[in-house]
C-alpha cells in the first residue's frame, strides 16, 4: 500500500504503556498519546488509531518519538523518529503515512511559545519531510484559556515533481502542549499521471498518560 509522505517531553516515570507503544530502544518510556481518526485513503474514509510514545529530548530543539498506526485491520510497522522545531521529521526507516507525518509536525509546536500567542498572530515553518519538503503557515484564530484555535495550511513538494497541499484547523492545548483535535483537507497530485488524490484527516486525542483528555 502506498504510504503518503507527509510532545511535551518530561523525565517523569509513567505507568506501563499500551502494547502498541511499548518502550523502544530508541525512545525511553515517557509520555504516551493516542489519537483516533478518520483518514481518507484510496478514495474512502477509514478509521485510524495512532499511538505516539514520546521519549526524552536529545537537545533543546529535538524530541524522540516512536509512532505506530493501525488502519482498519492493517497495522503499520512502528517507527522511531526525531522531530525538530521546524517540523522536520527524520530517522524513519520508510515513508510515514500522511496522517502520521501531520500529527508529528503538529506535535513539534511544543517548541513554540504557544502560551504567548494572540488572535491574528501568524508564522511560517519550512523543513524536510521523509520524501520531500514543506512550507507550513499557522494563524491564530482565537484563544480561550490554554486552548489555541489555529488555522493551518501546508504545501509539499517532492523530488519527482509530485506535490501536495492541505489546509484546516487545529485545537491546540498550550498547557498540555498537545493538539487535541485536528481537521484537515487537501490533495496530492502525482507527477507522472497528474492524478489528483484527496487528503483528509479528522483526529482527536483520546488518551494521554500525563492527564485525561478533556
Dihedral of the alpha carbons of 90, 93, 98, 103, in degrees to the nearest 10: -50
Domain 19-208 has CATH 3.30.1050: no
Q: Where are the beta strands (DSSP E) in 60-162?
A: 62-71, 74-75, 79-84, 89-90, 122-129, 132-144, 147-157
Mean pLDDT highest for which of 3-12, 91-100, 172-181? 172-181
Model confidence over 58-77: pLDDT tens digits? Answer: 666 788 899 999 987 778 87
Using alpha carbons, select from 132, 127, 126 the residue that is nearest to residue 95. 132
Confidence of residue 40 (pLDDT cuts 50, 70, 90): confident
Calculate mean pLDDT across residues 201-210: 95
Instruction: Please state the pTM of the whole predicted model.
Output: 0.81
- Residue 8 is predicted with a pLDDT of 34
**Domain residue ranges in the chain:** 19-208
Confidence of residue 214 (pLDDT cuts 50, 70, 90): low
Calculate mean pLDDT across residues 108-131: 88
- Residue 213 is predicted with a pLDDT of 55
- Residue 84 is predicted with a pLDDT of 84
β-strand pairing of 147-157 with 163-173: antiparallel
Neighbours of 15 (CB within 10 A): 7
Amino acid at each position: 500500500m502506498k504510504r503518503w509522505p507527509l510532545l511535551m517531553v518530561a523525565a517523569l516515570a509513567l505507568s506501563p504503556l499500551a502494547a502498541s507503544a511499548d518502550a523502544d530502544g530508541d525512545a525511553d518510556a515517557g509520555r504516551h498519546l493516542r489519537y483516533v481518526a478518520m483518514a481518507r485513503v484510496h478514495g474512502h474514509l477509514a478509521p485510524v488509531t495512532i499511538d505516539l510514545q514520546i521519549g526524552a529530548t536529545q537537545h533543546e530543539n529535538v524530541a524522540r518519538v516512536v509512532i505506530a498506526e493501525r488502519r482498519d485491520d492493517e497495522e503499520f510497522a512502528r517507527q522511531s523518529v526525531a522531530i525538530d522545531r521546524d517540523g522536520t521529521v527524520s530517522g524513519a526507516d520508510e515513508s510515514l503515512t500522511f496522517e502520521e507525518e501531520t500529527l508529528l509536525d503538529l506535535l513539534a509546536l511544543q517548541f513554540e511559545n504557544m502560551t504567548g500567542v494572540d488572535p491574528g498572530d501568524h508564522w511560517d515553518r519550512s523543513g524536510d519531510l521523509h520524501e520531500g519538503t514543506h512550507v507550513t503557515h499557522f494563524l491564530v484564530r482565537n484563544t480561550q484559556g490554554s486552548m489555541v484555535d489555529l488555522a493551518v495550511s501546508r504545501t509539499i513538494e517532492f523530488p519527482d515533481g509530485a506535490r501536495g497541499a492541505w489546509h484546516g484547523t487545529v485545537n491546540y492545548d498550550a498547557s498540555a502542549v498537545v493538539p487535541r483535535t485536528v481537521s484537515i483537507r487537501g490533495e496530492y497530485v502525482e507527477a507522472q499521471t497528474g492524478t489528483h488524490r484527496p487528503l483528509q484527516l479528522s483526529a482527536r486525542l483520546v488518551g494521554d498518560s500525563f492527564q485525561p483528555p478533556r
